[in-house]
Amino acid sequence: MARRRCIRIGGGDIVRDAYEMELLHEFIEAGKAVLGICRGAQVINVARGGTLYQDIATQIEAAGAHVHDDYDRHSHAIAWEEDAGLARLYPGASGGKVISIHHQSIKALGRGLTVEARGASDGVIEAVRLQGKPYVLGLQWHPEFHPPGSPDLLDSTPILDEFLNAARGHRW
């Protein structure tokens, strides 16, 4: 019998975890594009056999702040991995600042996933991508909280355009 994996957000919800992982498997099987944000990135990793740090602050030595009382205004810098798809979306940039609201993060990478971005100061995995097709990208940060035209935060438009093109069936 397969061992159930629990994302363990808060007290943990095994039914939610199982449902979301099964939904992800079905989307991948059907060739549908997936963009996982925050918990979604964690679900992608665990569904592919990876593991999580349950609490960054207590489990990663010298970790920067990834969650803060400022909630959806707390930001930190991320850096692209060399040759990552995100690096190609932002030519000439090595990363950017993102809104961060998470106390868990990827520990061991799941099957077929590659790291796209890490925390610039602490190396915490901030983005992963499934190699090959279909399009599956997990972002640990919250692009939906980045106001358009913000001079301080990463412009999310290239990521969202890439996802929408994949969802429409265009080459990515």
C-alpha–C-alpha distance, residues 149 and 29, integer Å: 36
Element (H, E) at 76: strand 75-80
Which residues, 6+ apart, have CB-to-CB distance to 126 below 8 Å? Answer: 78, 98, 116, 117, 118, 119, 139, 140, 141
Residue 19, Cβ density class (10 Å: 0-12 exposed, 13-18 middle, ≥19 buried):
exposed
Catalytic amino acids?
Answer: 38, 142, 144
